[in-house]
Amino acid sequence: MAAAEGPGGDGGSPGAAGGNRQLKYISLAVLVVQNASLILSIRYVRTLPGDRFFATTAVVMAEVLKGATCLLLIFIQKQGNLKQFALFLYDSVVVQYVDTLKLAVPSLIYTLQNNLQYVAISNLPAATFQVTYQLKILTTAVFSVLMLRKSLSRLQWLSLVLLFAGVAIVQVEQQQAGSKSTPGSLEVQQSYLVGLVAVVVSCLSSGFAGVYFEKILKGSAASVWLRNVQLGIFGTLLGLLGLWSAEGAAVAQHGFFFGYTPLVWGVILNQAFGGLLVALVVKYADNILKGFATSFSIVVSTVASIYLFDFHLNLLFALGAGLVIGAVYLYSLPKGPLAGRPSPGTTGQQPGHTAQSKELPSIATQGFLTKMPPKEKGS
């Protein structure tokens, strides 16, 4: 990323340092707005009266828009040379088809994850979903240890315990709230169970797919944009297959864009371009700021849910959410004295290893992981 480290990129001049500081806070604000607005907007459009759009078509449209955007970025990288652009895609996607097929697995999981998010948010309060979905940090950490042989500091393990405890408290509170509902609320309780299962499965799929994709990126020199084009190919095809099997008859009867409103298009654009947006701003923000963004977005979602969805905040929910927010922040901290004493033979290598032990970016919740390979980070 040499372009981002031009003159003054090391913060040598006061003006450059001030500019970088401003970009960090702008990045923080953008991440908070993006994380919170996606959850709130999906919840809002799925609970509006009137014709309800098909979630499967929204997933397909998000994949198409992401793929088209990445193609445009590659075209710009080729300086608008259509021949070079076409030859590059043909060689990367068709000739090296074995490499392309590797993306079928995470693409399938991301497509499943995106559909599950719509199911979960349609059946859970936005604040509850936002808190519970932070379990993806736990699943990502577990799969990173199992698949990538990464090590976690003691502080990170402690944060994962706090995360699990916080989510458990929130779920207990929601179960108690459900048991105190009116007698006619059986359907709500059943919907809550469906939403809870959907969000847990989505967390598991997010963790596995994110780590799998990271492993592929590390073993290849291909750019993130190309990888997302390959993901988009399978994602669109698998999304269409899921659409046909789940809602094919209804879509054929009412039309692909049935129930689409400007708000629905806003949700799709947010989901499609959210990952690209974070990829562009995250280079100005560190992992601590990302942790702050995730934590603050939970607060924003909770406060907004009180006004938008008549969400009732009580002490038990606040305690659980507080534990989750603290856990997210602790997990994002760099390894330090609390991380435990490394062995003498590995002390010199610890900083470099630590950089790869962080949580995968939260944009994986959108099925669009844009974690840069280590080579590109160090360029």
User: Tokens representing 295?
Assistant: 């934590």
Task: Look at residue 61 in the predicted model and tell me its pLDDT.
Answer: 93
Contact 216, 102 (CB under 8 A): yes
**Per-residue confidence (pLDDT) for residue 186, from 0 to 100:** 39
What is the predicted pLDDT for the residue at 121?
Answer: 86
Q: What is residue 18's predicted lDDT score, i.e. its pLDDT?
A: 58
The CA distance from 63 to 39, in Å, is 18
Count Cβ atoms below 10 Å from residue 86 Cβ, excluding itself.
12
Tokens at 267, concatenated: 């949700």
Q: Specify the pLDDT at position 260.
A: 92
Say if residues 292 and 28 touch (Cβ distance below 8 Å). yes
Q: How far is CA 138 from CA 35, 207, 293, in A?
A: 18, 8, 18
Other beta carbons within 10 angstroms of residue 80's beta carbon come to 9
Q: Write the single-letter amino acid at 263.
A: L
Handedness of CA 30, 36, 39, 41 (dihedral sign): negative
Residues of the chain with pLDDT under 50: 1-11, 182-189, 337-379
Buried b (16+ CB within 10 A) or exposed e, 333-355: bebeeebeeeeeeeeeeeeeebe
Single-letter amino acid code for the residue at 208: F
Radius of gyration, CA atoms only, the chain? 21
